[in-house]
Amino acid sequence: MRRSFISTADVVDILSIQRVLSRVGSYADQKRWEDHRQLFSDEVVIDFGGVKPSQIISSDNPMKWNKESYKGVKTQHTFTNQDVEIMGDTATATSICATYAAASRA
């Protein structure tokens, strides 16, 4: 069996990307919308696991939807099964996200 080793630089990149994934959920839960927006490039590929086809969209679109949808709602985003693939200067990350929501008490 061939063993595959990854470089220290790749480990740092993988951990940095996993940190961004964690912050996507944390910032949404904390309603830190400006910080949340800064985690994304101008365009992102969004895929809701077969609910509809994946698509490239402006990062501003989900931001507007999140701000409106989560107004008055407490959320907890949980990201699991984070898989980060590093290929030179490019990386691809996939993760499963479960979102729990409850109405905020006034």
85 within a domain of the structure (yes/no): yes
Residue 61 lies in a domain: no
> How open is the CA angle 45-13-80, to the nearest 5 degrees?
60
> Which DSSP category does 8 fall into?
H
Task: Look up the domain containing 76 and give its range.
Answer: 8-40+72-103
Does residue 53 belong to any structural domain of this protein? no
Structure token digits, residue 28: 């949404």
End-to-end alpha carbon distance in the chain:
59
Q: Is 35 domain-assigned?
A: yes
Whole-prediction pTM value?
Answer: 0.79
Asked, for residue 13, whether it belongs to a domain, the answer is yes
Does residue 81 fall inside a structural domain?
yes
Q: Is residue 48 part of a domain?
A: no
Q: Which of 15-19, 20-24, 49-53 has the lowest mean pLDDT?
A: 49-53
Count of domains observed in the chain: 1
Report the pLDDT value the prediction gives residue 32, as an integer from 0 to 100. 94
Q: Report residue 6's pLDDT band, with 50, 70 and 90 as the boundaries.
A: confident
In a domain, 54, yes or no: no
Mean pLDDT of 11-38: 94
Please report which confidence band the pLDDT of residue 3 belongs to, taking 50, 70 and 90 as the band edges: low
